[in-house]
Amino acid sequence: MLGFICFGIKGNRADGCLVARNRYWYKWFCLLSRIFICGIYASISLDYIKRLDNPHLVILSWIRLVCSLICACVILLMQFWFGQQVLCVVNSYFRLFRKVNALPGCQDQGFGGKRELSLLIFKLICLLNELFCELPMFFTDLNLRLFATLLVDIYISVNSTMIGHMCFVGYLSVGALYARVNRYVRQQLRRQLRSLEQHDGYQASRRQLRAAGYRLDECLGIYDEIQRVGIAFHRLIELPLCLILLFAFLSMTLVSYFIMLNRFRDATLWLLVVRLFVDVVLLTLAIHGASSSSRVIRRLSLENCYVSERNDWDMKLEMFLSRLNFYEFRVRPFGLFEISNELILVFLSGLVTYLTYILQYGMQTNQI
């Protein structure tokens, strides 16, 4: 409805598998509607900024306006300039999940486990709060201008944060894929390798080694493809990821300043700050899960070791163990910083320092 995802997902007629396809007519609708609404939002925001007399509010409002317009431009850029790459990445995710589902013992598994389900539930709560937090204002005494302002503000805010939601789903999918393949290697593949160990002193047959080698190659191929898809998604989304983090942090700063001006009495603003903070935490948790699941592979290699007198099998096993040590998924936008839970602590410390300074200044000048 908001025109953020402009491609369609349908089942393939041949095998029923999900495939993402372009909807060219809808892209032009997204372009025209987003440009029109962004123009209205810019004019309303400029009129609002002109009536402000607080310099801190003026600066923060300008930053929010610029960040919102940049996020809208980034969405248009993703749809029109990188639209085909987005489709390739989405279809690569579908293909990867089909490959993982084809592994023995993985047919009945869903998207992820309890961790993924918990994160998705919290994300759904945040989405509902984001969509309906301004709903009570529609039942007050509204004029036409205020009604249009609320609709435009909801559209711009939700569209800006949709970049963060897309990053959350993408990195959560990478973590879910790693976790499922790790579970298969830990349970099914390890059991198959242990079955090669003959207790009566005889070596495993060539047929058994060939079957185990096929599974090793299959797991290596899946790990390699997860790494490629994860890197492709990260390179495609690293600029929007930086922008949405900046937008979220600045929005929290702006709303926190409004809370101070209202003498900490507005519960709605407190709820908005909590929701913005939870959105950032969920994103970092999804990224942390993908990174930690990729590092688990190195510990799995110590559990799967069978040595025989056949050189070809030993070379295959050695290649499998050595290749696993190269798989580590890390999220570093442009190589500037690594997104982790420490990033939240750094931001919170800076936010508390800034708000403490503003609070002291406001108390001295009797503004707060």
Tokens of 103: 């592994």
Q: How many domains does the chain have?
A: 1
Is position 189 within any domain? Answer: yes
Is position 108 within any domain? Answer: yes
pLDDT at 3 over 70: no
Which residues does 221 contact at the CB level (< 8 Å), separation at least 6?
none
33 versus 313: which is more confidently predicted?
A: 33
Contact 226, 96 (CB under 8 A): yes
pLDDT in the model for residue 368? 54
Q: Is residue 7 part of a domain?
A: no
Domain membership of residue 45 (yes or no) is no
**Which of 53-62, 217-226, 298-307 reaches the highest mean pLDDT?**
217-226
The pTM assigned to this predicted structure is 0.82
What was the pLDDT predicted at 172? 92
Residue 61 lies in a domain: no
Of residues 228 and 196, the one with the higher pLDDT is 228
For 123-149, letters b (16+ CB in 10 Å) and e give beebbeebeeeeeeeeeeeeeeeeeeb
Residue 310 has pLDDT above 70, yes or no: no
Say how far apart CA 68 and CA 64 lie, in whole Å.
6
Do the Cβ atoms of 278 and 129 come closer than 8 Å?
Answer: no
In a domain, 89, yes or no: yes
- Grade residue 66 by pLDDT with cuts at 50, 70 and 90: confident
> Is 63 a member of any domain?
no
325-367 pLDDT tens trace:
666 778 888 777 778 777 778 877 877 787 777 777 667 766 5
pLDDT given for residue 60 in this prediction: 73
Element (H, E) at 275: helix 267-300
The closest of 157, 107, 104 to 134, measured between CA atoms, is 157
DSSP lists the bridge partners of residue 9 as 20
Residue 69 lies in a domain: no
Task: Give the pLDDT score at 327.
Answer: 67
Q: Contact, 175 vs 93, CB < 8 A?
A: no
Residue 297 has pLDDT above 80, yes or no: no
Domain holding 210, by residue range, is 85-341
Q: Kindly report the length of the chain.
A: 368
Q: Residue 126's pLDDT is what? A: 84
Whether residue 306 has pLDDT greater than 60 = no
